[in-house]
A and B are shown apart, each in its own frame.
Chain A
Amino acid sequence: MNTTRDPDQGYAGIRFGKRGYDVATLESLLTELVTTDPRNALPEGDNVPIWEPPVVGVAAADDPLFERLKEPGVVGPIHRDPDFWVPGAKAVVSFFLPFSEEVKRSYERGNPLPSLEWVSGRLNGEVFVNVLRRAVASYLESLGGRAVIPNLDRRYTSDKWLPAWSERHVAHVAGVGTFGLHAGLLTRKGAAGRIGSVVTDLPIAPTPRPYTGVYEYCPWMTDGSCGVCIPRCPVGAIHATGKDHDICVTNGQNNIRPAFHEWGYHSCGHCQNNLPCSDGIPPRALELAAAP
Chain B
Amino acid sequence: MSEDQVSLDRPSVVAALADYILQVNYRGYRPDLRKVLSVRRSDRTAWLRNAGTPIRWEVWYYIEGELFPEPGATRLAEGQTSRQLAEELAESIWDRLWIWNGFDFTPTSSGLNRGTYSDQVPPGTPDEDAIARSGSRP
State the A residues within 8 Å of B (CB).
1-3, 5-6, 9-11, 13-14, 38-39, 41, 43-44, 47, 68-69, 73-76, 122-124, 126-127, 130, 134-135, 138, 141-142, 151-158, 160-164, 166, 168-169, 172, 179, 182-184, 214, 237, 242-245, 248-249, 251-253, 256-257, 264, 266-268, 271
- Chain A interface: which of B8-16, B74-82, B104-112? B104-112
Residue in A closest to B70 when the chains form the complex, CB atoms: A142
Q: Which residue of the partner chain, among B100, B107, B129, B137, contacts A134 with CB atoms under 8 Å?
A: B100
State the B residues within 8 Å of A (CB).
23-24, 26, 30, 32-34, 51-60, 62, 64-66, 69, 71, 99-100, 103-104, 107-108, 110-113, 121, 124, 126-138
In the complex, what distance in Å separates the CA atom of A142 from the CA atom of B66? 12
What is the minimal beta-carbon distance from A107 to any residue of chain B, in angstroms?
Answer: 15
In the complex, what distance in Å separates the CA atom of A157 from the CA atom of B108? 12
B64 and A252 form a contact (CB under 8 A):
no
Known: A127-B104, A242-B137, A245-B134. A161 touches B33 (CB 8 A): no
A253 and B103 form a contact (CB under 8 A):
no
B131 and A1 form a contact (CB under 8 A):
no
A152 and B99 form a contact (CB under 8 A):
yes
Q: How many A-B residue pairs have CB under 8 A?
A: 166
Known: A1-B23, A38-B54, A249-B130. A152 touches B137 (CB 8 A): no
In the complex, what distance in Å separates the CA atom of A289 from the CA atom of B107? 36
B138 and A183 form a contact (CB under 8 A):
no
Specify which chain B residues have a CB less than 8 angstroms from the CB of A249 in the assembled complex.
126-127, 130-131, 134
In the complex, what distance in Å separates the CA atom of A97 from the CA atom of B130? 18
B110 and A158 form a contact (CB under 8 A):
yes
A138 and B69 form a contact (CB under 8 A):
yes
Q: What does DSSP make chain B's interface, helix, strand, loop or mixed?
A: loop
B130 and A41 form a contact (CB under 8 A):
no
In the complex, what distance in Å separates the CA atom of A267 from the CA atom of B4? 22
Further contacts, 15 of them, CB under 8 A, given A182-B134, A183-B135, A257-B121: A14-B33, A41-B53, A73-B137, A123-B107, A141-B69, A161-B128, A161-B131, A161-B132, A161-B134, A183-B137, A243-B133, A245-B131, A266-B127, A267-B129, A271-B133
What is the minimal beta-carbon distance from A75 to any residue of chain B, in angstroms?
Answer: 5
Known: A9-B34, A11-B33, A161-B132. A1 touches B127 (CB 8 A): no
What is the minimal beta-carbon distance from B78 to any residue of chain A, in angstroms?
Answer: 21
Q: Which residue of the partner chain, among A43, A163, A166, contacts B53 with CB atoms under 8 Å?
A: A43
CB-defined A-B contacts under 8 Å, sample of 14: A3-B30, A10-B62, A14-B64, A14-B69, A43-B54, A76-B136, A130-B104, A134-B66, A154-B113, A156-B111, A242-B137, A252-B127, A266-B121, A268-B130
Specify which chain B residues have a CB less than 8 angstroms from the CB of A182 in the assembled complex.
133-134
In the complex, what distance in Å separates the CA atom of A184 from the CA atom of B134? 7
In the complex, what distance in Å separates the CA atom of A68 from the CA atom of B138? 9
